Amino acid sequence: MENHVVDRYPVEIWWSDDDEAFIAEVCDLPGCLADGSTEVEAINAAHEVARMWLETATAERRAIPEPLTAENASGKFNVRLPSSLHRELQKRARREGVSLNQLVVMLLAHG
């Protein structure tokens, strides 16, 4: 598997106190993560694991997910919800003087 293919997949990295190492995860490839004592080491290890993941998936003829990028996030999606919840959100948006869209974005952003 060529490196330029692996490089298309974004890597998320964080420090793990439990592991006392940086963890690098290729979120688009389930279970694909690696660690390292430095961020660079963890990222390089993640790229190697991703290369192996892709080679194995290809050999086993498993579906390979496309990498998520900013280009395929339009900022729009539809959500189905109970009409009672929709009504409650409409009332709250009106009370707070914002649009329903602004309210939902704010609620999502704050988890």
Task: Please indicate, yes or no, whether residues 41 and 87 belong to a single structural domain of this protein.
Answer: no
Identity of the amino acid at 95? R
The DSSP output letter for 13 is E
pTM confidence score: 0.62
Question: Do the domain assignments include residue 68?
Answer: no
Of the given ranges (29-38, 41-50, 69-78), which has the lowest mean pLDDT?
69-78
Does a structural domain hold residue 97? Answer: yes
Is 93 inside any structural domain? Answer: yes
**Which tens digits make up the pLDDT trace of 75-94?**
888 889 999 999 999 999 99
87 part of a folded domain: yes
Distance separating alpha carbons of residues 60 and 10, to the nearest angstrom: 23
Q: Which residue segment(s) compose the domain that 43 sits in?
A: 3-59
Q: Are residues 55 and 82 in the same domain?
A: no
Q: In total, how many domains does the chain have? A: 2
Is 65 within a domain?
Answer: no
In-domain check, residue 80: yes
Angle at 63 between CA 5 and CA 6, to 5 degrees: 15
| CATH number of the domain within which 24 lies | 3.30.160.250
Task: Please report which confidence band the pLDDT of residue 5 belongs to, taking 50, 70 and 90 as the band edges.
Answer: confident
The CA-based angle 8-40-26, given to 5 degrees, is 35
Shared domain check, 55 and 7: yes
Cβ count near 29 (within 10 Å): 19
Domain assignment present for 92 = yes
Record the tokens describing residue 4, joined without a space. Answer: 């330029």
Average of per-residue pLDDT values in the chain: 91
Confidence of residue 29 (pLDDT cuts 50, 70, 90): very high
The end-to-end CA distance of the chain, in Å, is: 38
